[in-house]
């Protein structure tokens, strides 16, 4: 009976999903590869162009199926398959990854590209040099990036050394880097380029560039740069180094100037092509065309701050949009390169302790960390912008992390799901939750007073105040957790991980202990999100990706330090984990300071960690 009901429900579900669409109204699928405020302007321009041509959902002359893959390639494939099953009239894609995915899945349904480089730059041409027959839309060449670099010379003729960060995993970023290299060579400049794959590392890498004595920083068209621009801006402003870019949106956020495409106009131009097709689908497809509207923009406030002369032909950004931020009026305390690594290590200490609880106390590999860390940061950013009291924000961030861990614990203990899988399920679900909490992919916090400024009333600058606050938090965590794990309750927690059957025989509910332990661990992880977001000055939906590796490395290094120093008591082990998070950040700082080639940076870091961990286990023969 149950089987029959299940089959009936499944048939009903799939039948509902495959209902034929009303062919009298054209249906299009819009596919975003990820959530980003900048490229969202292109989507709005695209829909506005369709509306101007008489195609809109309000007038019921168009149906739009919108899907956002949230940075996940398998989701991109599934979304495209869904569009194919619905037999949409065309698929609009933004940016490059979505375009490539759609073209791989269909050669019949038209694909309208936008916010993408020319087809030749992403290997979309066949052996005859022709683009796919079903491709239309609007692309960009990389010439605009070279022109943006030339703008630097107009504003700052004395420039000799240009710094930038790039993402090795992003083709557009790598292609842009080659163009910038060519342009800097033509200008006789030295280019300092360092890789960064996660927004959590941005500040430290930018600090390394500043220590090399760069004269200007160039913010590339790169997703990591877009996500962490606020921390780039803040770090460069503290050293009075101007930031230039090729993207209009970043000029609005504080860069000096740019030459580039208007995102809204880019989408509008693609929308006009789609409208042309929808009006007469039997005609030949419009061919892909280069983006038509470029502009040279500058930020008047930032230009004034640096005392630059404005070259001819540049247009000021709209002053009603996001404004630039003032430079520091006096020489306030600014964290140095290694001090930044120390502060980040202290901010990550709570997460390291959370992973210590799950991994070493309960022997549970908890992947919830990636999601609960971002959740703590998302709650913090939203409530800081809403001007909530700091204690209330802290409490809600801890509560959010605890709930995430509790759900993982319930799935593991009550539903008997493997702990690793339970963490993966909750981590995946939290991506959507975090996006809903934030409302968009990135929230800047540059002008917001926060938890790290608590001691400024003592006459301390923001940097020194933040350092002392983080030290106090670290000491409080060490004392509180050391005390907790020595109590009867803490001993029961430790026994649950070491000898579950024995402690259960003594009347302890081990399932409840695991749930409480996971809740506590993820509350600590959310605390790190709470601290790091305020330190770096922004929250980003992707800030937690891979962050569990930082925590695991910190725990392993901390345990090695504890063994070296003979600290086997729980208090010494906890202190070792806190020191481990600091050492982990300092390893990256040392590698950057040593001038390691970007391609070898991660390898050297891994080798150093391996050496620290393995050295005590080596036995030399006499």
Summarize pLDDT for 382-401 with one digit per residue, the tens: 999 898 999 999 999 999 99
Per-residue pLDDT of 542-597, as tens digits, reads 788 777 877 887 888 888 888 777 777 888 889 989 998 888 878 777 766 666 65
Contact, 199 vs 227, CB < 8 A? yes
- As a dihedral over the C-alpha atoms of residue 539, residue 541, residue 542, residue 543, rounded to 10 degrees, the angle is 30
Which neighbouring-strand residues pair with 257?
298
Q: Are 596 and 212 in contact (CB under 8 A)?
A: no
Give CB contacts under 8 A, 24+ apart, made by 438-441.
438/378, 438/381, 438/382, 438/539, 438/541, 439/382, 440/35, 440/37, 440/40, 441/34, 441/35, 441/36, 441/37, 441/227, 441/540, 441/541, 441/542
Give mean pLDDT, residues 80-104: 90
Residue 431 pLDDT level (bands cut at 50, 70, 90): confident
The CATH topology of domain 23-141+266-290 is Rossmann fold (3.40.50)
| Residue 393: other Cβ atoms inside 10 A | 23
Check pLDDT > 80 for residue 601. no
Q: Is the CB of residue 430 less than 8 Å from the CB of residue 374?
A: yes
- The ranges of the chain annotated as CATH 1.10.3470 are 337-617
- Strand runs (DSSP E) across 246-386, as ranges? 257-261, 289-290, 294-298, 315-316
**Cα 525 to Cα 377: distance, rounded to the nearest angstrom:** 10
Instruction: Give the model's pLDDT for residue 599.
Output: 53
- 30: helix, coil or strand? strand
User: What was the pLDDT predicted at 334?
Assistant: 43
Angstrom distance (rounded) from CA 531 to CA 533: 6
> Strand 442-444 relative to strand 538-540: parallel, antiparallel, unpaired?
antiparallel
Cα distance between residue 495 and residue 503, in whole Å: 6
| Model confidence band, residue 272 (pLDDT cutoffs 50, 70, 90) | very high
What tens digit of pLDDT does each residue of 4-57 get?
444 444 444 444 444 344 457 999 999 998 777 778 889 999 999 999 999 999
Confidence bin at 267 (pLDDT 50/70/90)? very high
Q: Of all helices (H) and strands (E), which one includes residue 444?
A: strand 442-444
Where is pLDDT greater, at 578 or 3?
Answer: 578
Tell me, yes or no, if the pTM score tops 0.75: no
Q: What CATH code would you report for 337-617?
A: 1.10.3470
Which one has a higher pLDDT value, 601 or 533? Answer: 533
Helix axes 570-593, 547-565, angle to 10 degrees: 120
Round to whole Å and give the CA distance between 404 and 529.
14
What secondary structure letter does DSSP report for 254?
Answer: T
pLDDT at 2: 45
Q: Is the pLDDT of residue 442 over 50?
A: yes
Cβ-count burial of 1 within 10 angstroms (0-12 exposed, 13-18 middle, 19+ buried)? exposed
Cis? peptide before 95, omega within 30° of 0: yes
Strand 243-245 to 190-195 pairing: unpaired
Mean pLDDT of 399-425: 94
292-351: per-residue pLDDT in tens?
888 889 999 999 999 999 988 888 886 444 443 444 443 344 455 677 778 888 999 999
Contact 302, 255 (CB under 8 A): yes
Q: Given pLDDT bands bounded at 50, 70 and 90, which one contains residue 100?
A: confident
Residues forming CATH 3.40.50.2300 domain(s) in the chain: 23-141+266-290, 143-261+294-316
- Count CA atoms within 13 Å of residue 327 on its CB side: 19
Torsion of CA 451, 457, 462, 465, to 10 degrees: -70
Percent of the chain's residues with pLDDT above 70: 85
Alpha helices by DSSP H, listed for 311-385, are: 337-356, 369-385
pLDDT digits (tens, 9 = 90+) for 142-151: 888 999 999 9
Q: Is pLDDT above 90 for 75?
A: no
Average pLDDT, the chain: 83
For residue 592, what pLDDT is reported? 60
Instruction: Assign 64 a pLDDT band (cuts: 50, 70, 90).
Output: very high
pLDDT at 602: 63
pLDDT digits 0-9 by tens, 347-373: 999 999 999 999 889 888 888 999 999
pLDDT at site 190: 95
Mind spelling out the 3-state secondary structure of 62-91? CEEEEEECCCCHHHHHHHHHHHHHCCCCEE
pLDDT band with cut points at 50, 70 and 90 for residue 615 = low
Task: Encode 462-501: b = buried (16+ Cβ within 10 Å), e = exposed.
Answer: bbbbbbebbeebbeebbeebbeebeeeebebbbbbbeebe
Q: For position 172, what pLDDT does the model report?
A: 74
Tell me which CATH homologous superfamily contains domain 143-261+294-316: Response regulator (3.40.50.2300)
pLDDT bucket at 226, cuts 50 / 70 / 90: confident
């Amino acid at each position: 009976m149950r089987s029959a009901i299940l089959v009936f429900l499944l048939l009903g579900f799939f039948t509902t999903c495959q209902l034929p669409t009303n062919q009298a109204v054209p249906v299009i699928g819009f596919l975003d590869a990820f959530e980003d405020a900048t490229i969202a302007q292109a989507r709005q321009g695209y829909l506005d162009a369709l509306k101007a041509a008489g195609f809109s959902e309000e007038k019921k002359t168009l149906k739009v199926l919108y899907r956002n893959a949230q940075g996940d390639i398998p989701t991109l494939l599934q979304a495209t398959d869904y569009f194919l099953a619905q037999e949409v009239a065309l698929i609009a894609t933004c940016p490059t990854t979505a375009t490539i995915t759609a073209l791989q899945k269909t050669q019949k349904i038209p694909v309208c590209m936008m916010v993408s480089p020319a087809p030749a730059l992403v290997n979309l041409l066949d052996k005859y040099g022709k683009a796919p027959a079903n491709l239309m839309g609007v692309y960009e060449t990389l010439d605009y990036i070279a022109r943006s670099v030339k703008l630097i010379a107009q504003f700052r003729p004395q420039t000799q050394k240009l710094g930038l960060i790039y993402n090795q995993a992003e083709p557009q970023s790598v292609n842009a880097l080659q163009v910038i290299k060519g342009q800097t060579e033509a200008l006789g400049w030295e280019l300092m380029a360092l890789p960064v794959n996660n927004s959590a590392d941005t500040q430290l890498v930018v600090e390394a560039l500043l220590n090399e004595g760069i004269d200007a920083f160039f913010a590339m068209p790169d997703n990591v740069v877009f996500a962490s621009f606020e921390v780039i801006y803040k770090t460069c402003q503290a050293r009075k180094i101007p930031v230039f870019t090729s993207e209009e949106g970043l000029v609005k956020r504080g860069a000096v100037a740019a030459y580039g495409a208007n995102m809204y106009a880019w989408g509008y131009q693609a929308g006009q092509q789609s409208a042309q097709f929808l009006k007469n689908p039997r005609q030949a497809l419009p061919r892909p065309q280069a983006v038509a509207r470029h502009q040279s923009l500058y930020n008047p406030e930032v230009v004034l701050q640096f005392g630059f002369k404005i070259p001819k032909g540049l247009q000021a950004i709209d002053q009603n949009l996001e404004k630039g931020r003032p430079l520091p009026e006096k020489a306030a305390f600014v964290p140095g390169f290694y001090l930044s690594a120390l502060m980040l290590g202290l901010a990550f200490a709570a997460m390291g302790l959370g992973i210590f609880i799950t991994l070493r106390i309960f022997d549970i590999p908890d992947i919830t960390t990636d999601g609960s860390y971002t959740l703590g940061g998302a709650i913090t950013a939203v409530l800081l912008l809403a001007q909530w009291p700091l204690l209330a924000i802290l409490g809600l961030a801890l509560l959010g992390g605890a709930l995430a861990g509790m759900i993982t614990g319930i799935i593991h203990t009550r539903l008997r799901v493997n702990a690793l899988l339970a963490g993966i399920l909750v981590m995946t679900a939290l991506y959507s939750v975090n996006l809903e909490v934030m409302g968009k992919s990135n929230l800047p916090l540059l002008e917001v007073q926060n938890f790290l400024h608590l001691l400024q009333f003592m006459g301390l600058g923001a940097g020194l105040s933040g350092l002392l606050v983080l030290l106090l938090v670290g000491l409080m965590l060490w004392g509180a957790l050391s005390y907790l794990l020595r109590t009867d309750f803490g001993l029961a927690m430790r026994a649950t991980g070491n000898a579950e059957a024995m402690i259960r025989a003594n009347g302890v509910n081990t399932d409840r202990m695991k749930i409480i332990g996971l809740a506590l661990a993820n509350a600590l992880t959310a605390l790190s999100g709470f601290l790091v977001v305020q330190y770096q000055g922004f929250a980003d939906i992707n800030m937690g990706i891979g962050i569990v590796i930082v925590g695991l490395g910190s725990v392993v290094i901390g345990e090695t330090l504890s063994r070296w120093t003979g600290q086997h008591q729980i208090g010494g082990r906890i202190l070792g984990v806190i020191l481990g998070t600091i050492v982990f950040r300092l390893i990256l700082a040392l590698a950057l300071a040593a001038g390691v080639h970007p391609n070898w940076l991660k390898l050297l870091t891994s080798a150093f960690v391996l050496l620290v961990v393995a050295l005590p286990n080596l036995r030399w023969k006499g």
